[in-house]
Structure 1
Amino acid sequence: MSLNPPFTAETARQKVKKAQDLWNTQDPKSIARAYTPDSIWRNRSSFLTGTQAIEDFLTKKWEKEKSYRLRKELFAFTDNKIAVQFWYEYQDSHDGMKWKRCYGLEDWTFGEDGKMRKRMMSGNDIEITDTERWYKEGVDVEDVHISETHW
């Protein structure tokens, strides 16, 4: 089954989970290869173009965001676009290693080859306690029940 556009409900869901797994590797070089060479990004207030800029951005991201664990869920899709809701947790190395959770939405546009040519991300971080964490050591992010209050 091809994960290239046009997407079906099943291929869109698989594409989201493949991205989730790739991002959880925290390997900027591998992740950047999933995007077109001229890919356009907005990540919060950062605007980037191209895979080298993406790789550099992700390298800096994970210098700050330690113990990173991410879950993505399909929100909506069309032939070549996917909208995703996500939640990730991390320890902020720039803020005393406090635990934080980011809630957000992304919209993705793909080229015919299945590589992402546009990614727009909006997210908000909240500080959480260790007891509020969902993705503790040994917990599969897929096994966490995320209630409607967090959707």
Structure 2
Amino acid sequence: MSESRPPFPPFTLETATQKVRGAEDGWNSRDPRKVSLAYSEDSRWRNRHEFVTGREQIVAFLTRKWAGELEYRLIKELWAFTGNRIAVRFAYESHDAAGQWHRSYGNENWEFNEAGLMTYRHASINDLAIAETDRLFHWPQGRRPDDHPSLSDLAL
């Protein structure tokens, strides 16, 4: 296999945690092409009610997503892992074009191939409209600082 994305399965607590933080960092870049490279060429997603297959559809999906979810900031947290699978919980904050802020919560189930590329991603997500004063994610756009509270620290 010519492409790979360490760490590789089977995962340990350390490598599963690294994989989750790598995914968070990628999504916080809001660069659809860059993010798509963490997935296999034939990766399959269920994201809410949408089904996405392959990197080109991933790029199109993320491009559309981030065009409407402005000032997007995401935190992911490892929930469980075994072998080549990882479960995470996450929350992100963003606002729409009208300025309404939302916090979206959810869970994802991931499966990886031997090269460390994600082959399956199943995301269940709920949205909550929030006031701008209720925001909790205030770091500058991009990677979440290492000293920023986690979801558990924020009681989310």
Q: TM-score, normalised by structure 2?
A: 0.89
Q: Which runs of 5+ in 2 are unaligned?
A: 1-5
| 2:35 match | 31
Aligned counterparts of 1:36 and 1:142: Cα–Cα separation in 2: 31
Distance of 1:140 and 1:112 partners within structure 2: 30
Two-structure CA RMSD over aligned residues (Å): 1.4
Q: Distance in 1 between the 2:50 and 2:146 partners? A: 27
**Counterpart position of 1:130:** 132
Relative CO higher for 1 or 2, CA cutoff 8 Å, sep ≥ 6? Answer: 2
TM-score by length of 1: 0.92
Preserved CA contact (<8 Å) 1:86 1:104: yes
Question: What letter corresponds to residue 154 of structure 2 in structure 1?
Answer: I
Aligned partner of residue 48 in structure 1, secondary structure: strand
Q: Which amino acid in the other structure matches residue 128 of structure 2?
A: I
Q: Are 2:23 and 1:15 aligned?
A: no
Tell me which stretches of 4 or more aligned residues in structure 1 moved more than 4 Å. none
**CA deviation after TM superposition for structure 1 residue 103, in Å:** 0.4
2:115 maps to which of 110, 113, 116: 113
Task: Say whether the 8 Å CA contact 1:83–1:106 is kept in structure 2.
Answer: yes
Distance 2:148 2:26 in 1: 18
Distance 2:138 2:77 in 1: 19
Percent of residue pairs identical: 47
Count of aligned residue pairs for this structure pair: 145
Q: Distance in 2 between matches of 1:92 and 1:126?
A: 13
Which residues in structure 2 correspond to 1:56-75 (within 5 Å)?
56-75=60-79
